[in-house]
Amino acid sequence: MDLEFVVRGGPLDGRAFALAEGQPLTVGRALQCDIQLDDEGVSRRHCTVTPRDGEVSVRDLDSVNGTFVNDAQVTTAMLKPGDRLRLGRTLLELREALPRAVAAPPMLALTAETTATRTIVRKQIDPGRLDWLVTTPPRAEEAALLRRAERHLAAVHEVSDLLSRARDVPSLFATILDTVLKVTDADRAALMLRREGAAEAGRGDVALAAARVRRGREEPEFAVSRTVVRDVLESGISTLSHDALADARYQAGESIVLQGIRSVMCAPLRTTDAILGALYADSRSATGKFGEADLELLAAVGNQAGIALHRARLLADLERLFLDTIRAIAATIDAKDGYTHRHSERVAALAVRIARAIGLSDDEQRMVELAGLLHDVGKIGVPESILNKPGRLDTGELTDMQKHPVIGARILSHIQNPQIAALLPAVEHHHEKWDGTGYPDGLKGEAIPILARVLGMADFLDALTSARSYRSALHMDEAIRMLRDAAGTHFDHTLVEAVVRLHERGELALPKEPGPALPSIAPA
């Protein structure tokens, strides 16, 4: 029985991820994951899934927000068809695979065939030079040439604009393929990427990263010629076949024959100094569907798309470095106090859940997550004797401890990054109270930044439910009771109501590592 995960709800509703018997897949936000989910609540490497004998084993990879099967948090679990896997905001339902149109499959096998040589058009294309445009045509063909040039230039401009606005790699792939279908009038389009290390080794090993099919077409599979793709990758030369059924390179691919593929184009996805993959387009409608102008247009799209993909990968690497640095800073601060291991990560995760529950935007959720990781950075200026004191702090010690939000904001202000600048108010004011009795500035009510209110509540809950040097950890039920008691005085009552609803649905508690039992001492 073939299985697949299908997304339920959200912008990816209905998207399916195929599963292969015995093949483990990594799920997460990172580009290297087999199943990539564009969800800020999903860790970069969140979990693994492995199909076995009609079931799927799931293993959490120490994700920040946890892995849930049928609303129960798990470390490992076995799923059967009909079970639901929730990662962040993404809900995946396991089901038996059904035949359907190919929309954007993450994993598809390429059809292998022999390496025969028949080619109709095979040429090196300079995206900055259009051979068909610089050739002087007969007068009767001038109008058609001008229309073709207008279409070509308009398409290139549109591609450039669309690619510049793509925010992540999955949306970039979708934009590229939708544009290829539109400007070439192809029936199908695919984007293939070199496997990691293949480019450096001079090999053409590829994986089908994304595919699109024109609306209304049923596709049992998506088969292409590996020989043609490999040739394009290794030579950088674009290829056009007017009749794939007569081209020897396709004849051994039985599925090509069954699908009735007629015209085929393939062009490199390139940067100025590397070939990252290939763009493929085909048509069933007729032989000769594509001409050299279409091939040059596909090559131009491939050139722009390659640069956009390279830029997206660089940005992703910078983003990864940025987040890794933030997490390293948070871990360093938490390490000063033996009882606050991973406190900053848990506060960040709780803050994101609260922010999502009250309807804050994705950007605001991202800001509060970063603020959660960095909210205690100012404790670097607090002596460890105060941080680890086994009892109440005296007046002087309490004054020193209450300086940490201002110290943290001052330290972070030296980082010239707009994301850091945006989260400074949350870091500086996360200990303010709704009635104005908090610190450092005694802000009151709506004057407290919303992200600071969310962060302060997340900090409060994790502090109560974690073992500290002066008391044992409380159960979340008790922490929620104390939170309710503080509504309208210490905390925004609207946020308190949202958190209570999260708790009642079982969506609030985070896994805690067991700590030593401590005598119960009332918090200072």
Per-residue pLDDT of the chain (524 residues; tens, 9 = 90+): 678 888 887 666 677 787 877 788 889 887 667 787 878 888 888 999 998 888 999 999 988 889 999 989 999 999 999 899 999 889 999 988 754 433 333 333 333 333 333 444 555 555 555 554 455 555 555 566 566 666 666 666 666 666 666 666 777 788 788 878 877 778 888 888 887 654 444 444 777 788 888 764 545 466 676 777 888 888 888 888 765 555 555 544 444 444 555 678 888 988 877 888 899 888 876 555 677 778 888 888 888 888 888 887 777 777 777 777 777 877 777 676 655 567 888 899 999 999 998 888 888 998 999 999 999 888 888 888 887 777 788 889 889 999 999 999 999 888 888 888 899 999 999 999 999 999 999 999 999 999 999 999 999 999 898 876 667 888 899 999 999 999 999 999 999 999 999 999 888 876 554 333 322 222 32
Return the amino acid letter for 522: A
pLDDT of residue 31: 65
Tokens 């990816």 map to which residue?
12
| Vertex 298: Cα angle to 36 and 113 (nearest 5) | 70
Nearest-CA neighbor of 293 among 177, 152, 156, 185? 152
DSSP for 32-46, written as a single string: TSSEE---TTS-TT-
Residues 292 and 122: their CA atoms lie apart, in Å, by 10
Q: Which helix (H) or strand (E) holds 299?
A: helix 292-334
Q: Which residues pair with 241 in a beta bridge?
A: 264
Q: Which residues pair with 229 in a beta bridge?
A: none
Q: Strand order in 55-60's β-sheet?
A: 35-36, 25-28, 47-52, 55-60, 76-79
Contacts of 130 (CB under 8 A, 6+ apart): 149, 152, 293, 296
Contact 107, 101 (CB under 8 A): no
pTM: 0.53
3-class state of residue 186 by DSSP: coil
Longest dimension (CA), the chain: 96
Nearest-CA neighbor of 26 among 40, 15, 42, 10? 42
- To the nearest 10°, report the CA torsion of 232, 200, 126, 223: 30
Q: Which helix (H) or strand (E) holds 256?
A: helix 254-259
CB burial of 340-357 (b: ≥16 within 10 Å; e: otherwise) equals bbbbbbbbbbbbbbbbbb
pLDDT of residue 121: 54
pLDDT of residue 106: 34
